[in-house]
Structure 1
């Protein structure tokens, strides 16, 4: 499947991981933030990853890149992450220096999430140039929210037009099978656009992913012109 890359975030079990990988997901995200309804224990995530890797070998589908999501995590928490992760995704107050340092220390690529509501928020990505591998522009959480993402809210995608950095970026926030094609189309002329990230938009309840919604989302995203 060609088209933009797709990240399915908040994977909690092997069935979801298999459904996403078989449908053509490019990234799978595992949430190691305890306040999230999508939280998974590191040892459980490792089991899922190993089972997925075995299925990938047996069935012949491509193994997605494997992302661990953290919010202001300490060294102990990061060191407990599954060893097969390819990326760390940071949703907290991690500085560019901290991102670069941790990428080098753990030999992983870094995704830095930046909350967006207006075009000026996008400009903050400039500080992370050279310190991260992917920028994730996510919708700002609602006031009083206890976690930085997964709320199903969106932002004005045209705000991304102010981004001129060389680091590739993904869009997140309020995406679903119904609107992801529009989101992709809104960025078709932006050279830095890498793909889209979804969590709540493919769920039937917080933390409960639907294989049908995942397949529909990936098809809609990658079928966009």
Structure 2
């Protein structure tokens, strides 16, 4: 499948990981933030990844890149998960310097989430131009949400016209199989646009992915 890259975030079990990878997901995200309904331990993620690698080998589908989502995590937390991952995704107050240091220290690529409410937020992403490998533009969490992403809230994608950086970016926030085609259509002419990210938009309940919705989302994104 061609088209934008697709990230399925908040994977909690091997069946979901395998089904998503089989359907063409390019990234799978594991949430290492305890307050999230999608939280997994590094041990649980490792089991899922072992099963996924076996299925990829047996069936011949491509292994997705493996992303760990963190919010202001300490070294211990990062070091436990790093050997499993290709990317760290930071949703906290990590500075550009911190992002750059951690990527080098642990030998992973860095995705930095930028919560968006206005054009100023999009312009601020330029601070991470050298520090992150990918920028993830997400909707700002509603008051009292308790988690930085996966809230099913969208933002005005036209605001991304303010982004002038060269670092590739991914669009997240309130995407579903129904609206992702529109989101992609509005971005695909932009050189830095890399792909889309979904969590709650492919769930039947918080933290429970729906295989049919995952497949529909990937198909709508890449179609």
What pairs with 1:46-125 in structure 2 (closer than 5 Å)? 46-81=46-81, 83-125=83-125
Q: Is the CA contact (8 Å cut-off) linking 2:82 and 2:108 kept in structure 1?
A: no
Structure 1 runs, 4 residues or longer, greater than 6 Å off: none
CA offsets, 1:56-100, max 9 Å, x none? 011000000000000000001101115131000000000000000
**Distance (whole Å) between structure 1 residues aligned to residue 174 and residue 6 of structure 2:** 14
The alignment partner of 1:43 has SS state of helix
CA offsets, 1:131-155, max 9 Å, x none? 1100000000001221111100000
Q: Quote the residue 1:162 is aligned against.
A: 162
The alignment partner of 1:53 has SS state of helix
**2:186 is the alignment partner of 1:182:** no
The alignment partner of 1:161 has SS state of helix
Q: Quote the residue 1:137 is aligned against.
A: 137
State the shift of 1:103 in Å: 0.2
CA offsets, 1:93-125, max 9 Å, x none? 000000000000000000000000111110111
The alignment partner of 1:83 has SS state of helix
Of 41-50 and 77-86, the range deviating more from structure 2: 77-86
Q: Quote the residue 1:214 is aligned against.
A: 214
Q: Is the CA contact (8 Å cut-off) linking 2:82 and 2:106 kept in structure 1?
A: no
The alignment partner of 2:83 has SS state of coil
TM-score, scaled relative to structure 1: 0.98
Q: Is the CA contact (8 Å cut-off) linking 2:10 and 2:30 kept in structure 1?
A: yes
CA offsets, 1:12-49, max 9 Å, x none? 00010011000000000000000000000110100100
What is the aligned length? 223
Q: Quote the residue 2:28 is aligned against.
A: 28
Q: Is the CA contact (8 Å cut-off) linking 1:42 and 1:82 kept in structure 2?
A: no
Q: Is the CA contact (8 Å cut-off) linking 1:43 and 1:82 kept in structure 2?
A: no
The gaps in structure 1 that reach 5 residues or longer are none
**Distance (whole Å) between structure 1 residues aligned to residue 36 and residue 84 of structure 2:** 22
Q: Is the CA contact (8 Å cut-off) linking 2:200 and 2:206 kept in structure 1?
A: yes
Taking only aligned residues, the RMSD between alpha carbons, in angstroms, comes to 0.6
**Distance (whole Å) between structure 2 residues aligned to residue 188 and residue 61 of structure 1:** 26
Q: Is the CA contact (8 Å cut-off) linking 1:46 and 1:82 kept in structure 2?
A: no
Q: Is the CA contact (8 Å cut-off) linking 1:45 and 1:82 kept in structure 2?
A: no
State the shift of 1:219 in Å: 0.1
State the shift of 1:189 in Å: 1.5
